[in-house]
Structure 1
Amino acid sequence: MTQRHFPGSKLATRSNDDDDDEDLFEYFYDEPGSLPGTLSIDEDACPSFIVLIDYNESHANRVTNLTADACTPYLTSDSVSWLDIQGLGSEDILLGLGRIVGLHPLLLEDVVNVPQRPKVEDYSDQLLIIAQMVMPKPTEDGFWIEQVSFVLGKSYLLTFQEEPERDCFEPVRARIRGHKGKIRQAGADYLAYTLLDAIIDGFFPVLEDYGERIEALEDEVILNPNHQTLEKIYQVRRELLALRRSIWPQRSAINALIRDGSNLISSDVRIYLRDCYDHTIQVLDMVETYRELASGLMDVYLSSVSNKMNEVMKVLTIMSTVFIPITFIAGVYGMNFQYMPELTWRWGYFVCWGVMIAIAASLCFFFWRRGWFEDSRFAKHD
């Protein structure tokens, strides 16, 4: 499995093992001396298979497990052909598809050698768009992050995913099947916008989960801060930083699609991309807000721990202050000198106890008047 996941207390990159503590923000780089266009396929990558959705205003056909050669007629048809390549583990399929579609070797290298930084590159008759897709884990905290690459042609769109059957594109597929909206009347550029918009909208459920986690951490930090709380705060901060590193370059990539004039994207679709760009800004604002809240939680945690220690020191100080004069009196009358006038008093023992109790009560009353008991551990229990 090549998909990066962010589970529980360990954050891993490109690994199956939750206990692997690899670089959280790893990006792909070529080994020194390697030839340009060299494909580096991860040994754990899922096998590739091609899913085709060919549609126009009158029909929509879905074909699974296509071979690379069988895709040729669809690339030159008048309808829109969406070739979804799920899995990046089959080099022969990827090279064959690259040969048939005419993918530049550097383009195919960026698609296969994951993860890449989100970006947009124009290859004249093809447009490469690399994005990062996140999905919440259904049964535990955290999220999956996966690279999705788009290759936009005049009448076709290729999407390359690391993992099969786990993405946020199902609503788009349903709209194509159900002939909803204007997707069946539009071209491949509108399909690319729709999928990009689905990727950006996929950040919102993940961020909603982090909003709830931060709210729960706020209560925990105030009421019962402990070492596990600190670990949770640190984990949330790292995961939010990973989200920021995913969405920040995607903002620049979408902005490049709007700003740079490509003949593969119509002016109408650029207007829709503006809305996608606005959603990206909203996601980035939420990420920054939650990062600030998480950083504030760290400060609150340290303050809570310090206050907790101050409460303990206050209790010890009160107890010490109360027992110091009592210890002094007990020490004086424990010296056993022969000529001590109080030793011969009949009521000396009881008077000594009375004086000690009076001193302790007076000190406690004094501390109570000064408000020392209001925030102490004992006052909270009362």
Structure 2
Amino acid sequence: MAENPIVIAGAGLTGATAAEALRQGGYGGEIVLAGAEDQHPYIRPPLSKDFLAGREDAQAALVQPPGWYAEHGVRLLRGTTVESFDPGARTVTFSDAITLKYSQLLLATGASPRRLELPGAELEGVHYLRTLDDSESLHTLLATGNQRLVVLGMGWIGMEVAATARQLGNQATIVGRGEIPLASALGGTIGSIFADTHRREGVLLRTGRRPMEILGGNGKVSGVLLDDGERLPADVVLAAIGAVPNTAVAEAAGLTVSNGIDTDQRLRTSAEHVFAAGDVARAYHPVYGAPLRSEHWANAIAQGKTAAAAMLGRDASNDDIPYFYTDQFGIGMEYSGYFPWAAESEPVFRGSYQDPDKLEFIAFWLRGGKVVAGMNVNIWDVQEPIQDLIRSGRTVDAADLSNPDKELTSL
């Protein structure tokens, strides 16, 4: 009798990576990959960058060519979600009401944009950015130029979209409750570098402000009212105020959930034969000795592979160092680490970070004398030694970190 299939709930980067890793790992049974969107699995970083700008088409964002899934025996169910599952019976029920037995289940259900709770939030012209369709809709509006974009939120998505919008010839204003953009991800010193760069490129920042109402007429957006009474004119409003992990199906099945589906370092949930990975997983990380939840694309790939290895009964550990990157105007940046562990320390700089015309530096964050995070701006091929320093747990002299004559590999 054939073994019941491995079912993957979520056809994003995590789910598609897991399916590929299962096949590469020699799994010969059936794989069912179910995703809510009527799209082939794709990666999300281009949605706020090259795809939004029109420099890439949708094909460039695909994880695999469309024909790959059938060729490798992966049953891809587009526009289909796992509505419920029973860990005891090992069954899943899909949104088309079909119920299927599984041998292993991977929950890769991702996250959804946090919704605005303001008067006028349902007006035409209010957008979120999570899907390919979302990005295409924004591109159609912004590609013409001369649009007035107001971004609510000073995180990565908001800052990247504002940069892309300006480069397409639009006005852009960013509104955020904090005093410095990206401070919760990079701290105030480096957040200020990004803020100053945006200002020089003509982006308006309204920091320390809160939106009170989305203004409009005839059902369409016309502006945003701030808490100090300022009215920002707007043709387009992007709500970029964070994401919420899609845990409802896991909670209904009785799994342990706390800001994500809790897992061990093998990505096993509290239910036998059920795993979780990607944006939805709050997974124990052995390097940091704590559970972490990461929404970055590198984590989706790493955990997709880890989950596949674990489902195959092989050595598997969620021990990749969190990594992400951004491109905003003249800033090309890569970052490794988990910022909450670095938030209490000021970065140690190597290179030029104070001259806006020559931003080329590496920054390190230390905790107890050990490097817990590092980033490079407009300097390349240094992420491997940065991650080695983080993983090693060695005590490092800050003077050596700031000295460009000291090879990182020697520390």
TM-score, normalised to structure 2, is 0.20
Task: Name the structure with the higher helix share.
Answer: 1
Higher-Rg structure is 1
Name whichever structure is richer in strand by fraction.
Answer: 2
Q: TM-score, normalised by structure 1?
A: 0.21
